[in-house]
Structure 1
Amino acid sequence: MLECRPILCPGLAHEPTTNEDYKPIRYNEFRHRICDIQSPIFPSMHRSQLSLSLLAISTRLTTAAFVDYTLNIVNMQISPDGFSRGASLVNGVFPGTVLFANKGDVLRNTVVNQLTDPSMRRSTTIHWHGLYQRTTAYEDGPAFVTQCPIAPASSYQYVIPTLDQAGTHWYHSHLGSQYVDGVRSAIVIYDPDDPHKSLYDVDDASTSGNEPVPDTGLINGRGRYKGGPAAPWSVISVEQGKRYRFRVVNNGALGYYTFQIDGHPLKIIEADGLAHEPLIVNSLDIHPGERYSIVVEANQTVGNYWIRAPITARRSSSTPHNNVFAQLIRVLAPTNDPTTSQTSGTTLDISNLRPVENPGAPGGSAPADVVIDLNYGGISGGKTGWQVNGSQYKSPSLPTLLKILSNNATTNNDFATSENTIVLPYDKVIELQIHGSSNGFFHPWHLHGHSFDIIQNGGAINYVNPPRKDVIPVGGGTGIIRFKTSNRALGSYTAILIGIWRYDLDAGLAVVFAEAPNEQRAGPKAIQPSSGWNQLCPAYQALPADQQ
């Protein structure tokens, strides 16, 4: 699913608390904004969502500091596409609170679980998608991999050093499929030495067996359901002559969007939090979990232009292909709907992306130290679910990390077959060969704790300057990625999860990597969880089943 959300201005204006608070923002009023593309959340009928986020901001302080956020996870009724449904929200808003920090800051995010709706999951966890968690693997967030869930009426503080990371990321619940109910939003980490800062003037980051598919697509929390009420489109106001950085995040759960702006080329400068050499395209496909920064120059005639993000694959039959819009409004232009036509031209081929820093796959063209084949597909026999190498992932009752630290689990045999856990050695080049499903559907795979080099994904092998991301969409062919388990020699990890978005963790499509378990247990790279982390499992395990 994908989402399209309204503009948010945390810290500069009010944050929206009702549908009436989602109003167009003219760029001459505010310097900080966020624009996301999303779809409505999953109810019994309108349950699927699609999400893209566009973010941009002006001047920021550059001194490293502690940055504190309180994230209250609550149940509320919302109607992003004109139809009301129950949701689980961050701080009572949809989209949720956007987190901002500078490179080198330490995020201290206190998650307060106030969920009470018995029809939904009442425990929760939060995953900080794209953040490496060097030496803090216990803060990564996937339930029963690195932690037990946070029980209702309790809280947990995630302490996350950003270290040398910058870029566009996002956070979401990582307990079953809970995030599709609304627990998600963007993270923006600013780099005072951004290699591309001369390219833009404004960085605006204001965000049965059958699988549910999106009924509606949203941009910045607004959209229209076919045959439903004429809910207003999201509006993004720009000033002629300025160059805008849009941070586009697909925080949806199933289908992917094709993003474009009528009459405006897109200059891509970032992919999955990492700077890449500028690449100009007319549109880009964005899969769940992916993030891109694009520079758009407001150099056309003053007027209104459609921002388009059609759901290109895996949508409901009731969802028109071209029914996901926002409006790019020029200051001083009339406020009527755009009449612009769709632009044809080049769509992004991710194999053409080139990273700015340290290009080149680990190990070069030499064979990798460890090569792992991952064959995935549906479960046979008419059942719903997924498997990898013939095994359907099932979450253990005791988190993988806790088994390593407390039960001395250091070999593959120390984990149940259903945990799909593979132990990786420290400081080695790992090559994953992900073989697509027979139905040819694209599945985005995300690796926690690392970025990786995509040395092949349908085209020629490239060891010299391959794209560097943390999400790879794999279709009917084979995607080959490489990473090194030393993670820049700054720390070690446990239970690094490679999986696919939305329901697939629940449905069994996941692999867990227990990385360098002996180094995690003792020595200079040992994992040392907080006292609060140690209390999560006893609190969760004491809950009745209906609160878990």
Structure 2
Amino acid sequence: MRWGSSFTFVLFLTTAPVAKAAIGPVATLYVVNKNISPDGFTRPASVVNGAHPGPLIIAKKGETFKLNAVNQLSDITQERGTSIHWHGLFQKGTNFMDGAAGITQCPIAPGNAFQYSFSADSAGTFWYHSHFGLQYCDGVRGPIVIYDPSDPLKAFYDESTVITLSEWYHTVASSISGIPVADSTLINGKGRFPGGPKTDLAAVNVQQGKRYRLRVISISCGPSFTFSIDDHNLRVIEVEGNAVRPITVNSVNILAGQRYSIVLDACQPIGNYWIRAMPSSGRRNLPISFDGGINSAILRYKGAPNSEPTSVKQTTTNALVETDLHPLVSPFAPGRPQADGADMTVNLTFGFDPTTKKYSVNGAVFEPPSVPVLLQILNGARTPEELLPAGGVITVPRNKVIQVNVPSGLRGGPHPLHMHGHDFSVVRCADAGHFNFLDPVRRDVVNMGQTRGDFVSIRFKTDNPGPWIFHCHIDFHLGAGLAIVFAEAPYQTPKANPAPESWKNLCPIWDALPDDIKHTKLADKGVVNVTPNSRLSPCTIPAFLRPSWCEVSGSRYLSFNP
């Protein structure tokens, strides 16, 4: 065992004869194209180390990740640049390792590599995924677990494992037009679609009498899931890296990007039980049912036959309510315990244009700029007027408590809003009708709610200089403009984030590529706009950010002014 007797070695538990072993904290991630058939339908995909989901990456709290991302993508029908975001990890002092293309870095060019090096400061359940175009919807995603040698939750469980939830499309994500609708639900990378073959389902193996920490991660690009296990209660003990006071429920609604640690007591008679993950929306011929094993996996007790369950879905619902989640340690929200108790309040407005199918935040449709926001700051831009994209950046001062108010009811919800660089206290949850400053849940993905006239409020302290994107984690909505950047302490950002030379080389390499590599070519659609460099050319940016040479005729720049 990697960590000795105090840690449980984690594997993906599936019906495959050999589980996928974990890697890390030092590892190489090969981003490659591969034909895969997770639900029995074969299609080209982009995956990490040949697998979907990618390998589980593990570390011990306080260790340093050194993860070398090697771009071996070559399929012209898919995106060929890449970047990797480490979802839920704050990147204090390493904003340049956050992995958000157009915000904190240029994409990694095909045939090139970039080593992400950062500290494992927080213990808990996280994940990684491409933050370039819609690439993670095509398979570049996987789980992360950081162990705490002094885990305050260890007394609640005997063993642990990871369960990933996602939807799957039978077409490349960038080719989808209109409202994306999934063909199947995958649990630990396996699933079935209506009318498809009876493929193997994922199986989580347990032993009667033991307690299992199920680290449930939504790696979804779109729908939320209602997660339950027949005849078993679920005891929630962690929310997105934050230990919470244990609460027992029998179902959990989990939005894209969210994570929960749930303790399952294997106390039922030996047998097989359905694990259920009902998607909220966006289903292509995928009925709201579990017929034929769709939207399902198997909980298999040791000694049970190798057969599918006959268990019946529970009729009594005791669903998790977000307002019932409370931190186990340091429960107080930052700032004064009142509605106007923050140092700065940001009131966001959201919109949707049914004609263009674009979302807006504060009146601006977000499009990642050609020059990453971090690079703009390092080159001297400091104010919202100087920073691009226009209208897409809010500056906030250092060491202040910020309250962000988010109106509910935006079309296309529920929208999971994720903040990079921070978690936050949800001082007003969706549909709560009141504030909680005493012990609100802390997390990094929040449901903005669907009730018009309601609103959600979050608070965080600006102790992490750098540009951090705040966006909808329905990836198609991010691509449609549902995002804004908080440029935190821009005057202190250069000193707080001394970027390495390897990072500085990303943009010159990327921008020297021909356009036919930076854009995806679809055989039946020609060139489609899936690159974050779609709106701004180097020649339209302020002079102090321009490259050392620039021609409107189409010549590409190689370096930036110092």
- TM-score range, shorter-chain basis? 0.7 to 0.9
SS at match of 1:172: strand
Counterpart Cα distance in 2 of 1:493 and 1:314: 37
Structure 2 residue 378 is the aligned partner of structure 1 residue 405: yes
Answer yes or no: is the 8 Å Cα contact 1:55–1:248 preserved in 2.
no
Pick aligned residue for 2:212 from 244, 254, 266: 244
The partner residue of 1:537 within 507, 517, 523 is 507
Preserved contact between residue 56 and residue 246 of structure 1 (Cα < 8 Å): no
Q: Is the 8 A contact 1:55 1:203 kept in 2?
A: no
Query: Aligned-pair distance for 1:417?
Result: 5.2
SS at match of 2:479: helix
What is the Cα deviation at residue 11 of structure 1? 8.5
What letter corresponds to residue 49 of structure 2 in structure 1? N
2:297 corresponds to which of 313, 317, 326:
326
Any conservation in 1 of the 2:128–2:144 contact (CA below 8 Å)? yes
Q: Which moved more, 1:291-300 or 1:410-419?
A: 410-419
Matched residue SS, 1:179: helix
Q: Against the structure 1 CA distance between its residues 159 and 438, is the aligned structure 2 distance closer, same or farther, given a 3 Å change threshold?
A: closer
Alignment of 1:334-349 (within 5 A): 334-343=305-314, 344-349=316-321
Supply the distance in 1 between the matched residues of 2:393 and 2:9 (Cα, whole angstroms): 46
Change (3 A) 1:438 1:143: closer
What is the letter of the counterpart of residue 102 of structure 1?
K
- The SS at the match of 1:313 is coil
Aligned to 1:189: 146
User: 1:15 — aligned with what?
Assistant: none
Structure 1's 206 and 246: CA in aligned 2 closer, same or farther, altered over 3 A?
Answer: closer
Q: Alignment partner of 2:191: what SS? A: coil
Query: Which contiguous aligned blocks of 4+ residues in structure 1 show a shift greater than 6 angstroms?
Result: 54-57
Matching of residue 546 in structure 1 with residue 547 in structure 2: no
| 1:272-302 deviation per Cα after TM superposition (whole angstroms, max 9, x unaligned) | 1111110100000000000000000100111
Which range is displaced more, 253-262 or 305-314? 305-314
Task: State the one-letter code of the partner of 1:329.
Answer: R
Query: Distance between the aligned counterparts of 2:364 and 2:467, measured in 1?
Result: 17
User: Does the Cα contact within 8 Å between 1:226 and 1:320 map onto a contact in 2?
Assistant: no
1:440 positional shift: 6.7
Deviation string, structure 1 residues 233-268 (Cα, Å, up to 9, x no partner): 111111000000100000011111100010110000
Aligned equivalents of 1:92 and 1:109: distance in 2? 16
Take 1:56 and 1:483, find their aligned partners in 2: how far apart are those partners?
36
CA offset digits 1:421-472 (Å, max 9, x no partner) = 0011001110011112443721000000101000112212100000000000
Q: Which residue of 1 aligns with 2:470?
A: 498
- 278 and 201 in structure 1: CA distance in 2 versus 1, 3 angstrom threshold: same
> Does residue 258 in structure 1 map to residue 226 in structure 2?
yes
Name the residue aligned to 2:414: 442
The alignment of Structure 1 onto Structure 2 pairs a total of residues equal to 487
What is the match of residue 484 of structure 1?
461
Kept in 2, the 8 Å contact 1:370–1:429? The answer is yes
Residue of structure 2 in register with 1:198 after alignment: 155
1:318 deviates by 3.6
Q: 1:461 aligns with which of 413, 421, 435?
A: 435
**Which amino acid is 2:377 matched to?**
I
Give the alignment's Cα RMSD to 1 decimal.
2.2
Q: 2:141 is matched by which residue type in structure 1?
A: R
Q: Distance in 2 between matches of 1:255 and 1:67?
A: 31
2:11 is aligned, of 5, 18, 33, to 33
Structure 1 residues without counterparts, runs of 5 or longer: 1-9, 13-29, 37-53, 61-65, 487-491
Letter in 1 for 2:125: T
Distance 1:113 1:228 in 2: 33
CA shift for structure 1 position 416:
3.6
Counterpart residue number, 1:97: 55
Which structure 2 residues correspond to residues 116-515 of structure 1 after superposition, within 5 A?
A: 116-163=74-121, 165-205=122-162, 207=164, 209-322=177-290, 323-343=294-314, 344-366=316-338, 367-380=341-354, 382-406=355-379, 408-416=380-388, 418=390, 420-439=392-411, 441-457=413-429, 458-459=431-432, 460-476=434-450, 477-486=454-463, 492-501=464-473, 502-515=475-488
How far does the alpha carbon of each residue in 1:470-525 deviate from its partner, in whole angstroms, 9 at most, with x for none?
Answer: 00011223111000002xxxxx3211110012122221110001100111134xxx
Q: TM-score, normalised by structure 1?
A: 0.85
The one-letter amino acid paired with 2:10 is H
Q: State the 1:214 CA deviation.
A: 1.4
Deviations 1:119-144 (A, max 9, x none): 11101000000001000000001001
Q: 1:244 to 1:283 in 2, by over 3 A?
A: same
SS of the residue aligned with 1:503? helix
Give, in angstroms, the shift of residue 320 of structure 1.
Answer: 3.7
Deviation, 1:365, is 1.6
Using the TM superposition, give the Cα deviation of residue 203 of structure 1 relative to its aligned residue in structure 2, in angstroms. Answer: 1.6
Once structures 1 and 2 are overlaid, which stretch shifts more, 371-380 or 212-221? 371-380
**Match of 2:502, SS?**
helix
Q: Report how far residue 377 of structure 1 moved.
A: 2.8
Task: Give the Cα separation in 2 of the matches to 1:94 and 1:141.
Answer: 20
Partners of 2:185 and 2:458 in 1: how far apart?
Answer: 31
DSSP-derived class of the 1:402 partner: helix
**Unaligned regions of 5+ residues in structure 2, if any?**
165-175, 519-562
Output the amino acid matched with 2:204. Answer: I
Q: What amino acid maps onto 1:363 in structure 2?
A: G
1:112 aligns with 2:70: yes
Provide closer, same or farther for how the CA distance between residues 360 and 282 of structure 1 changes in structure 2, counting only shifts above 3 A.
same
Bigger mean CA deviation after superposition, 125-134 or 493-502: 493-502
Query: Tell me, what secondary structure is at the counterpart of 1:455?
Result: strand
User: Whole-Å Cα distance in 2 between the matches of residues 132 and 104 of structure 1?
Assistant: 13
Deviation track 1:315-343 (CA, whole Å, cap 9, x = no partner) reads 33444443311111111111221111112
Q: How far did residue 31 of structure 1 move?
A: 5.5
Q: Which SS does the other structure have where 2:28 is aligned?
A: strand
Task: Please state whether the residue corresponding to 2:503 is helix, strand or coil.
Answer: helix
| Relative contact order, higher structure (CA 8 A, sep 6+) | 1
Q: How far apart are residue 378 of structure 1 and its match?
A: 1.4
CA distance in 2, matches of 1:191, 1:56: 20
**In 2, are the aligned partners of 1:377 and 1:437 still within 8 Å (CA)?**
no
